[in-house]
Amino acid sequence: MKARYLIPLGLFAGLVVLFAVGLGLNPREVPSPLIDKPVPTFELSQVHAADKRLGSADLTRQPVALFNVWASWCVACRQEHPFLMELAQRGEVPIYGLNYKDERSDAIAWLTRHGDPYRASAHDYDGRVGIDWGVYGVPETFLVDGQGKIRYKHIGPLTPQVWREKIEPLVRQLQQGKA
């Protein structure tokens, strides 16, 4: 048998591999251009206290912090919420919230019902700050360091697995001042 008859078989095998990898990717996970870039500056009123402010300076005050974008109308936020509560209880890393395109009263009611894992949440009523952070699908979670840079972005509900494999190692590094 001539080797040239193996060419179509080889091409086919190549396609199978290509499709297996390509179709396994999640098209919703668009890589953010903001990684390792400075935190977009903002200052908004807090969800719980309209007269108090929360801004980018508060996020970068400590070596590492989580910045979680959430909304009361967001179903997937309910899904990740118990894990955020667990993280908040462990107290390893401070969590700040960006309440995205939500009514203040809805947001407060939601936090009262499900618990509040956030040190504070900024009230981004018109979503303008969300645009600066490249938010397109709530929930999204950013890891911010003390240098004022975004170190990681997770799109979709935060799961224990993502935390363990992706975020926790970075948090440890940053807390030990290695990165």
Taking the complex as a whole, the smallest distance from the CB of residue 49 to another protein amounts, in Å, to 26
Q: Is 127 in the site for another protein (CB under 8 A)?
A: yes
CB within 8 Å of 175: residues ≥ 6 apart: 63, 64
For another protein, the closer CB: 83 or 125: 125
Give 22-34 as a DSSP string.
Answer: HHHS-TT-PPPTT
Min dist CB 125 to another protein, Å, is 12
One-letter amino acid for residue 134 of the chain: G
User: Residues touching another protein: how many (CB under 8 A)?
Assistant: 18
* The total number of residues written for the chain in this structure: 179
Does position 101 bind another protein by CB under 8 A?
yes
Q: Are 54 and 170 in contact (CB under 8 A)?
A: no
Determine, following the binding rule CB under 8 A, whether residue 30 of this chain makes contact with another protein. yes
* Binding status of residue 76 toward another protein by CB under 8 A: no
Of 37, 25, 44, nearest to 155 by C-alpha is 25
Enumerate binding residues for another protein (CB under 8 A): 27-28, 30-34, 101, 126-128, 130-134, 136-137
